[in-house]
Chains A and B, each alone.
Chain A
Amino acid sequence: MKKIYGKLCVLLSLVFMIAAFSACNREQGEQVRADQTQLTIGVFDGGLGSDWIYAIKEDFEAKYADVSFEEGKKGVQLRVSPSRSFTQTGMEGNIDSFREEVIFAEGANAQYFASRDKFLDITDVVTSPLNYDFVRKQTSNGGESVTIESKMSATQQDYFSAIGDRYYALPTAETYYCIVYDIELFEDNNLFFAPDGSFVTDASATRSDGPDGKAETTYDNGLPATYDQFFALCQKIVDLNKNLIPVMWGGNVQEYVSSFMLAIAADYAGVVQTELNYNYNGTMTEYITSFDGDGNPVISTDPEKYVPITAQNGYELYKQPGRYYALSFIERLTSNTAYYNYLTATSASFTHKDAQGQFVMSKYYSSMQRPAMLIDGNWWQSEAKSVFNELVAEKGDSASAQNRKFGIMPIPKVTAEAGDYTLLENTGYIGFINGNIDSSKIDLAKAFMQYCYTDKALIEYTKTTNICRPVSYEMGDAYDELSSWGKTMVDLHQNADFAYQDSSSTIMQNYSTDLWYSPRLWYSVVNGKTYTYPTTAMINDSVSAKDYFNGLSAYWTESVWKNKFQNV
Chain B
Amino acid sequence: MNSEKIRRLLSKRRTKDLIFYCLLLAFPILQFCIFYLGVNFNSILLAFKTYEGNDVYTWGGTVNFATLFESFSLLTVYRVSVINSLKLFFIGTLTGLVCGLLFSYYIYKKAFMRNFFKILLFLPSIIPTIALVLMFKQIADGAIPALMMSLGITAKGLLANPDTTFGTIIFYNVWVGFGVSVLLYVGAMEKISEGVVEAARLDGTRYFQEFVYITVPLVWDTMSTFIIVAVGGIFVNQANIYAFYSDGAEEYVFTIGYYLYKETVKTGAAADYPILSAFGILLSLVTIPLVYAVKYLLGRFGPTTEERRRKVEE
Listed in ascending order, the chain A residues whose CB lies under 8 Å from chain B are 87-89, 107, 109, 112, 115-116, 251-252, 254-255, 343, 346-350, 506, 509-513, 517, 519, 525, 528-533, 536, 540-541, 555, 557, 559-560, 563, 566-567
B251 and A531: CB pair below 8 A?
A: yes
Quick one: given A525-B76, A560-B74, are A115 and B54 in contact (CB under 8 Å)? yes
Contacts of A532 in B (CB 8 A): 248-251
Contact, CB under 8 Å: A560 / B75: yes
B268: CB under 8 A from chain A? yes
Are the CB atoms of B271 and A566 closer together than 8 Å? yes
Q: Bound complex: CA of A252 vs CA of B137, how far in Å?
A: 10
Whether the Cβ atoms of A348 and B267 lie closer than 8 Å is no
**Chain B residue with the shortest CB-CB distance to A523:** B251
A511 near B268: Cβ-Cβ < 8 Å: yes
Q: Kindly provide the distance from the CB of A90 to the nearest chain B CB, expressed in whole angstroms.
A: 10
Within 8 A of A (CB), among B242-257: 244-245, 247-252
Chain B residues whose C-beta falls within 8 Å of the C-beta of A506 in the assembled complex: 53
Q: Is the CB–CB distance between B140 and A563 below 8 Å?
A: no
B142: nearest chain-A partner, CB-CB: A349
A55 to chain B minimum Cβ distance, whole angstroms, is 30
Contact B267 A530 (CB under 8 A): no
Contact between chains at A116 and B55 (CB < 8 Å): yes
Chain B 40-79, CB-CB to A under 8 Å as 1, else 0, gives: 0000000000111111000000000001001100111100
Q: Is the CB of B70 within 8 A of A559?
A: yes
Tell me whether A347 and B74 are in contact (CB under 8 A): no
Stretch at the interface among B23-31, B151-159, B180-188: B151-159
**CA–CA, A563 and B274, complex, Å:** 12
Does B284 interact with chain A (Cβ within 8 Å)? Answer: no
Interface size class of B (residues with CB under 8 A): 35 or more
Sort A-B residue pairs by CB-CB distance and give the 6 closest, nearest first. Answer: A349-B141, A349-B142, A88-B267, A348-B159, A347-B141, A510-B271
Chain B's nearest CB lies how many Å from the CB of A502? 14
* B80 located at the interface, meaning its Cβ lies under 8 Å from any Cβ of chain A in the complex: yes
A560 and B137 alpha carbons, distance in the complex (Å): 35
Complex Cα–Cα for A251 and B54 (A) = 37
Return chain B residues, CB-CB under 8 Å to A511: 268, 271-272
Contact of A349 among B51, B74, B137 (CB under 8 A): B137
Given contacts A88-B268, A533-B250, 5 further A-B contacts (CB under 8 A): A251-B141, A348-B244, A512-B268, A519-B247, A530-B76
- Assuming the contacts A88-B268, A251-B141, asked whether A567 and B51 have C-beta atoms less than 8 A apart, the reply is yes
- Whether B50 lies near A566 (C-beta < 8 A) is yes
Query: Is the pair B266, A350 in contact by a Cβ cutoff of 8 Å?
Result: no
* Inter-subunit contact A348/B53 (CB<8 Å): no
Residue B160 lies at the interface, judged by CB distance under 8 Å to chain A? yes
Question: A557: which B residues are within 8 A, CB to CB?
Answer: 74
B265 interface residue per 8 A CB criterion: yes
Task: Tell me which of A107, A347, A349 has the highest count of chain B C-beta atoms within 10 A of its own C-beta.
Answer: A349
Q: Which residues of chain A are near B312, meaning CB under 8 Å? A: none
Identify 10 residue pairs between A and B in the complex whose beta-carbon atoms are under 8 Å apart, listed by A's number: A88-B268, A89-B265, A112-B268, A350-B141, A350-B142, A513-B266, A529-B76, A536-B162, A557-B74, A567-B52
Q: Which positions 118-156 of chain B face chain A at CB distance < 8 Å?
A: 137-138, 140-142, 145, 154, 156
- B33 part of interface (Cβ distance < 8 Å): no
The verdict on B281 contacting chain A, using a C-beta distance below 8 Å, is no
Known contacts A347-B142, A348-B157, A348-B160, A510 near B137 by CB under 8 Å? no
Complex interface: chain A residues within 8 A of B270 (CB)? 510
Residues of chain B lying within 8 A (CB to CB) of residue A540 = 161-162
Task: Say yes or no: B75 contacts A343, CB within 8 Å.
Answer: no
Is B10 interfacial (CB-CB < 8 Å)? no
CB distance from B160 to the nearest CB of A (A): 4
- A343 and B154 in contact, given A254-B248, A532-B249, A559-B70 (Cβ under 8 angstroms): yes
Inter-subunit contact B248/A519 (CB<8 Å): yes
Known contacts A348-B141, A529-B76: A513-B250 contact under CB 8 Å: no
Decide: A347 and B160 in contact? CB cutoff 8 A.
yes
Docked-complex contact A343 and B156, CB < 8 angstroms: yes
Contact (Cβ within 8 A) A347 B76 = no
Task: Decide: A530 and B50 in contact? CB cutoff 8 A.
Answer: no
- Selected contact of B53 from candidates A251, A509, A528, CB within 8 Å: A509
Residue interface mask B268-281, A partner, CB < 8 A = 1: 11111000000000
Complex contact B80–A530 (CB within 8 A): yes
Contact A255 B248 (CB under 8 A): yes
Tell me whether B248 and A530 are in contact (CB under 8 A): no
CA distance A282 to B92 in the complex (A): 51
Assembled-state Cα–Cα distance A348/B244 (Å): 8
Alpha-carbon gap, A563 to B73, bound state (A): 12
Give bound CA distance, A116 to B53, whole Å. 12
A557 to chain B, nearest CB (A): 7
The distance in angstroms between the C-alpha atoms of A222 and B304, with both chains bound, is 80
Q: Is B156's CB under 8 angstroms from A347's CB?
A: yes
Which residue of the partner chain A has the closest CB to B139? Answer: A349
Chain A residues within an 8 Å CB radius of B244: 348
**Which residue from B51, B54, B140 sits with its C-beta under 8 Å from A348?**
B140
How many Å lie between the Cα of A530 and that of B76 in the bound state?
7
Q: Mark B103-116, 1 if CB is under 8 A from A, else 0.
A: 00000000000000
Most buried by B among A347, A350, A540, A555: A347
Whole-angstrom CA separation of A529 from B162 in the bound complex: 13
The answer to whether A347 and B157 touch across the interface, beta carbons within 8 angstroms, is yes
Q: Check A107 against B267 for contact (C-beta < 8 Å).
A: yes
Cα-based distance from A318 to B201 in the complex (angstroms): 72
CB-CB contacts of B216-251 with A at 8 A, as 1s and 0s? 000000000000000000000000000011011111
Q: Looking at the complex, which one of A107, A251, A529 makes contact with B160 (CB distance below 8 Å)?
A: A251
Which of A346, A506, A533, A560 is packed against the most chain B CB atoms within 10 Å?
Answer: A346
Report the bound CA distance from A525 to B80 in whole Å.
Answer: 13
Complex CA distance for A98 and B258, rounded to whole angstroms: 30
Nearest residue (CB) in A for B68 is A563
Instruction: A112 to B137: give the CA distance in the assembly, Å.
Output: 36
| Contact A510 B53, CB 8 Å, known A343-B145, A348-B244, A532-B250 | yes
Complex partner residue of B137 from A116, A348, A512, CB under 8 angstroms: A348
Hey, which chain A residues are within 8 Å of B249, CB to CB? 532
Chain A residues with Cβ below 8 Å from B271 are 510-511, 566-567
Distance between A177 CB and nearest chain B CB, rounded to angstroms: 15
A363 to chain B, nearest CB (A): 23
- Min Cβ gap A280→B in Å is 15
